[in-house]
Structure 1
Amino acid sequence: MSTCDLRGLLQSVFMTITSEGSALWRDRRFVLLASARTISVLGNGFARVALAFSVLALPGAGPGKLSLVLACQSLPQLVFILLGGVIADRMSRSRLMAMADGVGAFAYAGLAVMTLTRHAPLALMCALAVVAGLATALFAPAMDGVVPLVVPADRLQRANGLLRMSTNTCLFLGLALSGVVVAWVGAGWALALNAVSFVVSAVLTGRLRLPARPVEASSLWTDLRAGWREFTSRQWLWVVVAQCTAVVAVFSATLGVLGPLVAQQHLGGARSWSIIVAAQALGAIAGAGLAVRVRADRPVLVAVLATFPAALPMVFLSISAPVWLIAAATFCAGVAGDVFNVLWASTLQREIPEQVLSRVSSYDLFGSLAFAPLGLLVAGPVAQGVGSGPALAGCAAVVVVATLAALASPQVRALRRSASPIQESVAASDQAGEEVAR
Structure 2
Amino acid sequence: MRDASSSASSSSSTTPRWSGAFRRLAWSNLCAQSAEQISLAAAPLVAVFALGANARDTGLLQTAQTLPFLLLSMPLGVWADRRSRRALMTLAESVRVCAMLCVLLLVLTHALNLPLLAALGFVAATGTVAYNVAAPSLVPSLVPREAYASANGRLELARSVAYSAGPAVGGLLVGWIGAGWAYGGAAALSALAVVLLAGLREPPRASAPPRHFMLELRDGTRFVLRDPLLLPMLATAVFFNLGFFILQAVYVPYAAQRLGLSASAIGVTLGAYGVGMVCGALAAPAIARLLTFGRLLVIGPSCGLLASLVMVATLVAPSFWLALASFFLLGAGPILWVVGSTTLRQAITPARMIGRVSALISTATYGARPVGALLGAALSARWSIDVCLVAAALAFFVQASIIFFSPAARLPSIPEPADEERAAAC
* The two structures share one fold, judged by TM-score above 0.5: yes
One-letter identity of the residue aligned with 2:218 = R
- Which one of 73, 78, 81 corresponds to residue 73 of structure 2? 81
Counterpart for residue 65 of structure 1: 57
One-letter identity of the residue aligned with 2:364 = G
Question: Aligned pair 1:369/2:366, yes or no?
Answer: yes
CA contact (8 A) 2:164 2:271 kept: yes
The superposition leaves residues 314-349 of structure 1 with CA deviations (integer Å, 9 ceiling, x where unpaired) of 333334332123212322331111111111111111
The alpha-carbon distance between structure 1 residues 190 and 422, as it changes in their structure 2 partners (threshold 3 A), is farther
Counterpart for residue 155 of structure 1: 147
The alpha-carbon distance between structure 1 residues 56 and 329, as it changes in their structure 2 partners (threshold 3 A), is closer
| SS of residue matched to 2:53 | coil
Counterpart for residue 337 of structure 1: 334
Counterpart for residue 4 of structure 2: none
Question: Aligned pair 1:243/2:243, yes or no?
Answer: no
| SS of residue matched to 2:333 | helix
| SS of residue matched to 2:111 | coil
Aligned partners of 1:138, 1:202: CA distance in 2, in Å?
13
Instruction: Report the TM-score, using the length of structure 2 for normalisation.
Output: 0.88
CA contact (8 A) 2:308 2:392 kept: yes
The superposition leaves residues 212-242 of structure 1 with CA deviations (integer Å, 9 ceiling, x where unpaired) of 4313121111211221222122122112211
Question: Aligned pair 1:360/2:354, yes or no?
Answer: no
Question: Aligned pair 1:171/2:163, yes or no?
Answer: yes
CA contact (8 A) 1:92 1:211 kept: no
Question: Aligned pair 1:187/2:179, yes or no?
Answer: yes
Instruction: Using CA pairs under 8 Å that are at least 6 residues apart, name the structure with larger relative contact order, 1 or 2.
Output: 2
One-letter identity of the residue aligned with 1:289 = L
CA contact (8 A) 1:299 1:347 kept: no
Aligned partners of 2:400, 2:98: CA distance in 1, in Å?
38
- Which one of 299, 302, 309 corresponds to residue 303 of structure 2? 309
Counterpart for residue 269 of structure 2: 276
- Range that drifts further, 337-346 or 63-72: 63-72
The superposition leaves residues 66-101 of structure 1 with CA deviations (integer Å, 9 ceiling, x where unpaired) of 222221121121011101110000111111111111
What displacement does 1:263 show?
A: 1.2
Aligned partners of 2:158, 2:408: CA distance in 1, in Å?
32
CA contact (8 A) 1:49 1:270 kept: no
Cα root mean square deviation, aligned: 2.4
The superposition leaves residues 356-406 of structure 1 with CA deviations (integer Å, 9 ceiling, x where unpaired) of 111101111111123321211231332243322232022112211232133
One-letter identity of the residue aligned with 1:249 = L
| SS of residue matched to 2:330 | helix
What displacement does 1:125 show?
A: 2.6
Aligned partners of 2:239, 2:36: CA distance in 1, in Å?
24
CA contact (8 A) 1:298 1:416 kept: yes
What displacement does 1:22 show?
A: 5.1
Aligned partners of 1:362, 1:403: CA distance in 2, in Å?
23
Counterpart for residue 388 of structure 2: 391
Aligned partners of 2:325, 2:208: CA distance in 1, in Å?
48
Aligned partners of 2:414, 2:307: CA distance in 1, in Å?
31
Counterpart for residue 291 of structure 1: 284
| SS of residue matched to 2:229 | helix
CA contact (8 A) 1:108 1:191 kept: yes
Aligned partners of 1:270, 1:311: CA distance in 2, in Å?
26
5+ residue gaps, structure 1: 1-18, 424-438
The superposition leaves residues 125-157 of structure 1 with CA deviations (integer Å, 9 ceiling, x where unpaired) of 332222123333333211110111111110111
The alpha-carbon distance between structure 1 residues 33 and 232, as it changes in their structure 2 partners (threshold 3 A), is same
- Which one of 320, 324, 327 corresponds to residue 327 of structure 1? 324
Question: Aligned pair 1:219/2:216, yes or no?
Answer: no
Aligned partners of 1:99, 1:419: CA distance in 2, in Å?
34
Counterpart for residue 404 of structure 1: 401
What displacement does 1:21 show?
A: 7.3
| SS of residue matched to 1:286 | helix
The alpha-carbon distance between structure 1 residues 78 and 55, as it changes in their structure 2 partners (threshold 3 A), is same
Question: Aligned pair 1:262/2:270, yes or no?
Answer: no
What displacement does 1:287 show?
A: 0.9
One-letter identity of the residue aligned with 1:264 = A
CA contact (8 A) 1:349 1:357 kept: yes
Counterpart for residue 427 of structure 1: none
| SS of residue matched to 1:217 | coil
CA contact (8 A) 2:312 2:393 kept: no
| SS of residue matched to 2:17 | helix
What displacement does 1:113 show?
A: 2.0
Aligned partners of 2:419, 2:85: CA distance in 1, in Å?
18
The alpha-carbon distance between structure 1 residues 413 and 193, as it changes in their structure 2 partners (threshold 3 A), is same
The alpha-carbon distance between structure 1 residues 211 and 23, as it changes in their structure 2 partners (threshold 3 A), is closer
Query: Could you list the runs of 4 or more consecutive aligned residues of structure 1 that deviate by over 4 angstroms after TM superposition?
Result: 19-22, 419-423
Instruction: Report the TM-score, using the length of structure 1 for normalisation.
Output: 0.85
- Range that drifts further, 373-382 or 76-85: 373-382
The alpha-carbon distance between structure 1 residues 65 and 326, as it changes in their structure 2 partners (threshold 3 A), is closer
5+ residue gaps, structure 2: 1-11, 421-426
| Higher helix fraction (1 or 2) | 1
